Amino acid sequence: MNKFIIAAVLPLIILIAGCTKTHTKKKDTVQTKTIVDDTGKSITVKADVQRIVILHAMYLEYFFALGKPPVASTGASAGNAVDVINAAETLEPYRNTADIIDLGSAREINAEAVLAANPDVIVTFKGHAGRVYDRLVQIAPVVQIDFYAPWQHQTRLCAQVAGREAFAEQFIKETEDVIASAAEKLSAHKDRTFAMFRTDGKTLVTRADKDYYALFGLSKPKGYPDEYSPVSIESVAEMNPDYIVFQDSTARSDAYASFLGSMSVWRSLDAVKNGRVFYFDDSFNSFGPLALRLTAENLLKVYSR
């Protein structure tokens, strides 16, 4: 009787053991890699990441440039991902090249929408995830990037996520060459001063710091601060730059420029009288690689006037 039972049960035991072995082998085939993000955490992700989800549209620029667009994205400080893609000059070459799930506003992270996007990895800037971080890491690994870090560093970290490290190095070199070439040409105009601003609707705020001037070989007018700072129209009149650029949303820049146009002190500026007031797209404020390439191109156009 016992021999009969053993004979009957033995094939079933072998079958179960075989299934268990097969299942274990399948799990072992999932390759992973480790990325150290800008919080210092070691993040384990799939070696072949396919579904990247980003929680701020500033990183659309990086992943499109790397040839690995995300499957889902939030917007920026205002609007959603669709608004950003349709409006950003930096992303114009990439419009209609990828289907990206819109996750809504970056100000209110919708964890349920992130979950529905089925990410392999979630990318955002350091500190952004805040109170929903614990919920997000249950969905997928979260890589946080310091958006104050140099664009080269941010490009390389995004490339590690996307598995595009070799491409990133080539792209960084090409971008640095574009900037250096523009700076060399612009350095021939050291006698001309340049001032760049944005506006909060109430005042002017400088938008170029000392690193920006050094990067492109530009001359700032006397009195223009080294760091971002609000300035009065009277201060700008004392600077009296040869060129003025508004780098902000078109609607905001146009509205404030119209307001300034009613002021005689503004109309007295050399840049205004000589038709040397220009407008750069708000997307240039990322100071990322695509933004800097377009900045180099636009600055050469400005200085040709």
Q: Up-side HSE of residue 74: CA atoms within 13 Å toward CB?
A: 24
pLDDT of residue 176 exceeding 80, the answer is yes
Given pLDDT bands bounded at 50, 70 and 90, which one contains residue 4?
very low
Q: Could you read off the pLDDT of 139-171 as tens digits, one per residue?
A: 999 999 999 999 999 999 999 999 999 999 999
Rounded to whole angstroms, how far apart are CA atoms 36 and 259?
Answer: 48
- What local confidence, expressed as pLDDT, does residue 78 receive? 62
Q: Which residues, 6 or more positions from 299, have their beta carbon under 8 angstroms from its beta carbon?
A: 182, 186, 216, 218
Between β-strands 194-199 and 243-247, what pairing exists: parallel, antiparallel or unpaired?
A: parallel
- Alpha-carbon distances of 160 from 31, 100, 121, 172, rounded to whole Å: 15, 21, 12, 14
Residue type, 224: Y
Task: List, for residues 255-305, the tens digit of each pLDDT value.
Answer: 999 999 999 999 999 999 999 999 999 999 999 999 999 999 999 999 998
Q: Kindly report the CATH number that applies to the domain delimited by 181-302.
A: 3.40.50.1980
Q: Do domains 32-168 and 181-302 have the same CATH topology?
A: yes
Kindly list the domain boundaries of the chain, sorted by start residue.
32-168, 181-302
Question: Any idea what DSSP says for residue 173?
Answer: H
| Cα–Cα distance for residue pair 203/272, rounded to 1 Å | 17
Cα-based distances in Å from 243 to 42, 181, 191: 46, 20, 12
Looking at residue 17, what is its pLDDT? 47
32-168 CATH fold: Rossmann fold (3.40.50)
Contact status, residue 136 vs residue 110, Cβ threshold 8 Å: no
How many whole angstroms separate alpha carbon 202 and alpha carbon 124?
31
DSSP assignment letter at 201: S
SS3 helix, strand, coil % of the chain, rounded to 5? 50, 15, 35
CA quadruple 62, 64, 65, 68: dihedral positive or negative?
positive
